[in-house]
Amino acid sequence: MRIYKDHLILSGSRIKEALLQFNELAPDAILFVVDNEDKLIGALTDGDVRRGLLKGFAIESCIDEIIQDNPRYITKGENNLEKIIEYREGDFRIVPVVDENHTIVNVINFRKIRSYLPIDAVIMAGGRGQRLQPFTNTIPKPLLKVGDKAIMEHNLDRLALFGIDDFWVSVKYLGEQIENHFGQGIEKNIKIEYVWENEPLGTIGAVSQIKNFEHDYILVTNSDLLTNIDYEQFFLEFINQDADLAVLTIPYQVNIPYAVLETNNGEVKSFKEKPTYTYYSNGGIYLMKKEMLRYIPQDTFFNATDLMEELIRNKFKVISFPFSGYWLDVGKHEDFEKAQIDIKNIKM
């Protein structure tokens, strides 16, 4: 049972039962009235109860007499971020999420999350982590602790902070430990499913095995990244540019200690004194339309860069999302040591 169930109350319940649930929910005291199949019927707040009691209803009265019968809600999978932002910036702090049958499948709380993005997230966690041996001889790299929790947990929690609640984790080396650690995601109010690689399939090949994505947009990320990226801004840029795939890119500056000459057939046209050039490196996080997945071959070693090249070759729009915030690929011992220091000073 997910945490959101605490906000549900069955139609026909008594006001007294609602008051008991309000007491448990404390500052998040709002209930969503459902039928036996969890279909949304209405909403109930402590204010509704107070008004009902003032009208003469008793605590043994049925809640159906005092509910709001036209509550606001979000439909799972809909691409309507404007509505999300409107709810978040308005007075609608807690909102139910319903499926196509109007059944509640989640309840989002903007006191605890920043957005609700219509995205499935795939976390690639199957690598052996050889550069971090001997730490990874008995523990998979995604479970190595940075601060008080595993590297991958920082990653997963950051995604969940933006309302992403459908996760897929690709595992291979010591994957049982990862599966045992995170389970099905119930404690985090998310859903996690696992994809097992029988053979190494590269940085994105395992995604081809997933056939039941919930959304039209897929985010693929390495499991060993630490970053404070704003995933809502990433998604908005992707949508605004009508991209087919976006890749997070990290600026990398090269300082030339000498003057650089620009020449044409040996003739000097201009020069720059000790210039600095900025290049953008692959940051290991990709956002794409679901239909792009058809370009990932089945059961084949295939990297994300292979997919980008294939999409560019086929004239799809691949964009860069330059990122200047905190980003660290925890791949080597010096990176792991740096992460232990950084985590004390950055807000994830």
Tell me the domains of the chain and their CATH numbers. Answer: 3-109 (3.10.580.10), 119-245+281-342 (3.90.550.10)
The owner of tokens 């119930």 is 186
Residues of the chain with pLDDT under 70: 1-2
Q: Quick one: pLDDT at residue 97?
A: 94
* Angle of CA points 305, 311, 317, to nearest 5°: 110
> Contact 231/164 with Cβ under 8 angstroms?
yes
Among 3, 33, 1, smallest CA distance to 15 is for 33
Looking at the chain, how many residues does it have?
A: 348
Q: For 246-270, how does the pLDDT look when each residue is reduced to its tens digit (9 = 90+)? A: 999 998 888 888 888 888 888 887 8
* Angle of CA points 331, 336, 340, to nearest 5°: 150
What is the residue-averaged pLDDT of the chain?
A: 92
Q: Quick one: pLDDT at residue 150?
A: 95
Q: Quick one: pLDDT at residue 128?
A: 84
* Strands in 201-272 per DSSP E: 217-222, 225-227, 245-255, 260-264, 267-272
170 strand-pairing partners: 124, 195
Give the pTM. 0.87
End-to-end CA separation in angstroms for the chain? 27
Q: Quick one: pLDDT at residue 1?
A: 39
HSE-CB at 33 with a 13 A cutoff on CA atoms is 23
Grouping H, G, I as helix, E, B as strand and the rest as coil, residue 41 is strand
